[in-house]
Structure 1
């Protein structure tokens, strides 16, 4: 399994065990498969995604990425794990304004020591970015920026790809097209995809769905 989450709980200051944002959530995710996480606003979707990406600490339970348990990792080792094994795609894109599209795509993979120029070019071609590589993020539309963020995430060839509403800024038709391509590229790269979405149509495109309600898997 690429991702194992076992009975994870998480409470923020002022929350009790009864009102914790996550209360005993468990799931498994294998290489080459995809899971959509759905739920109402405030149900804990993004919190669980951030915990799975070693961006935050959980209170109890365990999360494993490959053979690595997150509970005992300090910040430095968590950063190293994200740099080499985990990629994230957020709705806000988080592109570097001072870097060209080409350099944005290669950034994470270069930091992780896993940049493959051939794979990077293939991603650019298939995501419709090959004619935009020398532009800067401010020169792109929202949809183009979103595709750059997806290319950057996949360029690492991560074990685990985390995505929080990755097509939230696109219309329904464009969203479905980008998701189809994203799922195809995930299968080819062997990554596991863990995706948060509010869209039932997007969720149904993935292999499995998990619904959160009041911090629990419903």
Structure 2
């Protein structure tokens, strides 16, 4: 399994008592497959995604990425894991304004020492960006910027791709097109995709679906 989550709990301190967000969540995700997590706003979807990305600490339970237990890693080791094996795509594209699209796509892979120019060009071709590589983010449409963000994430050849409302800023047609391309590339590269969405239509496009409610999944 690329991602294993076992009995994970997470609470946040309140003014008087702690608020439990996750109550013993468990799930598995294997290579080349996709999983959508739905739930109401504030249900803890993004919290679970951030825990899987080793961006936050869980209270109890365990999260494993390709057999590595996150509870046993220090902050530096978690950062190294993200650079080499875990990529993230957010609703906000988070492209670097001062870099052209070609350099944006290569950025994280270069930082992790995994940049493959041929794979980067293949991603650009598949995502319709090959004629836009010399442009800067502000010169692209929202859909083009999101495709660039997806190319940047996949350029690392991650074992795990985490996506938080990745098409939330796009219209329905653009959202569907971007998701279809991302799912094709995920299956082609053998990456495991864990996606958080409020859209049932998007969730239906993935291999599996889970719903988070009252801190548990079903």
Distance 1:20 1:145 in 2: 36
Partner residue, 1:154: 154
Q: How does 1:1-218 map to 2 (within 5 A)?
A: 1-14=1-14, 19-218=19-218
TM-score, normalised to structure 1, is 0.97
Contact 2:143–2:178, Cα closer than 8 Å, also in 1: no
Which deviates more, 42-51 or 106-115? 106-115
TM-score, normalised to structure 2, is 0.97
Distance 2:72 2:21 in 1: 22
SS in 2 for 1:181: helix
- C-alpha distance after superposition, 1:88-134 (max 9, x if no partner): 00011111111110000001111111111111111111111111101
* Aligned CA-pair RMSD: 1.1
In structure 1, runs of 5+ residues without a counterpart are none
Q: How many residues are aligned here?
A: 217
CA deviation after TM superposition for structure 1 residue 16, in Å: 5.0
CA deviation after TM superposition for structure 1 residue 44, in Å: 0.4
Where do 4+ consecutive residues of structure 1 move more than 3 Å?
Answer: none
- C-alpha distance after superposition, 1:149-175 (max 9, x if no partner): 000000111000000011111111111
- C-alpha distance after superposition, 1:52-105 (max 9, x if no partner): 011111000000001210012111111000000000000111111111100000
Contact 2:99–2:136, Cα closer than 8 Å, also in 1: yes
SS in 1 for 2:183: helix
Distance 1:177 1:102 in 2: 21
